């Protein structure tokens, strides 16, 4: 049986598919956030060095990971849209940007508020913090550039260029704690060595990260559907849609 | 159990301001984003159905006149 792989690259059929997927991801996000926060606040023990202040980690690290992952996802979709001229992938990139910017802001905010009691300062211009701030500016730049161009297809192309050039910042953020002498601590969790934290702390952090993923997918799918409707509003399938024609 | 009482829980070992300052802002951002994205969708659907209604009326007018 031949499978039509391109079926869901058409905005009209993706609209229907995404509509079915949103409830699943929303429910998963809600449950995982509840479990993750429960572990973070009621199961994970007090840190012997940082006391209770370390509990910021359960939102700080997932937010910082998401800020980087989502940027890469955004650049990949924007790049595919630029290379193959596929409308849906560009719409995905546009839909990812606000959520990515939100997580970047949260990573910076929770980092600052964690830095104050631990380092004695809200902010330092060290490599990790500065490169993360540049990430926020890249997201904002991407969104404002797209908002400034009236023709959506041209906005997609211009945005894709910013997104792809900005990818160079991602390895800089990730390796900044190794390459430079920073105030920010090194990676707590890495692929090559065993985690340097208690098992329950790690579990809570990973569950919170998966929760953030589920949340991000749900909210990005809702936004993608809205963008599809905005751009395809003159087509017959939109006018026949339930909620529009009724 | 880690916490002796609720006030102990809210105090967070003296770091209450920092811990809750992080989580409250995070909740505001996440809930706010959900509200904004749903509002945008709802406004658009309403707008589209209004356009749909007006074009339907135009067609009816064209056929009757």
Write the DSSP assignment of A173-203 as a string of letters: HHHHHHHS--SS---SS-SSS--SS-HHHHH
Q: What is the mean pLDDT of residues A1-5?
A: 61
The predicted-structure confidence for B6-62, as pLDDT tens digits, reads as follows 999 998 988 999 999 999 999 999 999 999 999 999 999 999 888 888 877 777 777
Q: Do B25 and A60 touch (CB under 8 A)?
A: no
Q: Do A238 and B14 touch (CB under 8 A)?
A: no
pLDDT at B60: 73
Q: Do B18 and A42 touch (CB under 8 A)?
A: no
Q: Which residues of chain B are within 8 Å of residue A67 when distances are taken between CB atoms?
A: none
pLDDT at B64: 65
Q: What are phi and psi of A51, to 5 degrees?
A: 65, -140
pLDDT at A82: 94
Start-end of H helices in chain A: 11-38, 57-84, 87-119, 127-148, 152-166, 169-179, 199-231, 236-239
Taking the model in full, what pTM does it have? 0.91
Q: Is the pLDDT of residue A166 over 70?
A: yes
Of B1, B12, B29, nearest to A105 by CB-CB distance is: B29
Please report the ipTM that was assigned to this predicted complex: 0.87
Q: Is the pLDDT of residue A196 over 80?
A: no
Tokens of A201: 């702390």
């Amino acid at each position: 049986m031949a499978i039509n792989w391109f079926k869901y690259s058409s905005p009209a059929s993706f609209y229907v598919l995404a509509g079915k997927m949103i409830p699943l991801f929303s429910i998963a996000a809600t449950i995982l956030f509840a479990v993750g926060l429960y572990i973070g606040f009621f199961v994970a023990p007090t840190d012997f060095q940082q006391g209770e202040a370390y509990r910021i980690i359960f939102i700080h690290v997932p937010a910082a990971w998401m800020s980087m992952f989502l940027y890469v996802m955004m650049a990949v979709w924007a790049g595919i849209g630029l290379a193959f001229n596929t409308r849906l992938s560009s719409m995905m990139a546009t839909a990812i940007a606000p959520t990515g910017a939100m997580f970047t802001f949260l990573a910076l905010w929770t980092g600052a508020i964690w830095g104050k009691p631990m380092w004695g300062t809200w902010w330092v211009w060290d490599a990790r913090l500065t490169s993360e701030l540049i990430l926020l500016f890249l997201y904002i730049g991407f969104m404002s550039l797209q908002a400034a161009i009236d023709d959506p297809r041209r906005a997609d192309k211009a945005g894709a260029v910013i997104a792809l050039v900005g990818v160079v910042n991602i390895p800089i953020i990730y390796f900044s704690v190794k390459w430079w002498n920073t105030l920010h601590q090194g990676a707590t969790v890495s692929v090559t060595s065993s985690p340097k934290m208690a098992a329950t702390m790690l579990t809570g952090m990973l569950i919170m990260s998966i929760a953030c993923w589920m949340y991000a997918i749900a909210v990005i799918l809702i936004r993608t559907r809205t963008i599809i409707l905005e751009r395809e509003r003159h087509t017959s399938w939109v006018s026949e849609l339930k909620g529009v024609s009724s | 159990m880690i916490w002796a009482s609720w006030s102990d829980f809210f105090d967070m070992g003296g770091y209450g301001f920092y811990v809750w300052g992080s989580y409250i802002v995070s909740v505001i951002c996440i809930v706010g984003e959900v509200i904004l994205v749903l509002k945008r969708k709802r406004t658009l659907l309403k707008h589209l159905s209004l356009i749909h209604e007006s074009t339907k009326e135009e067609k009816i007018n064209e056929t009757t006149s």
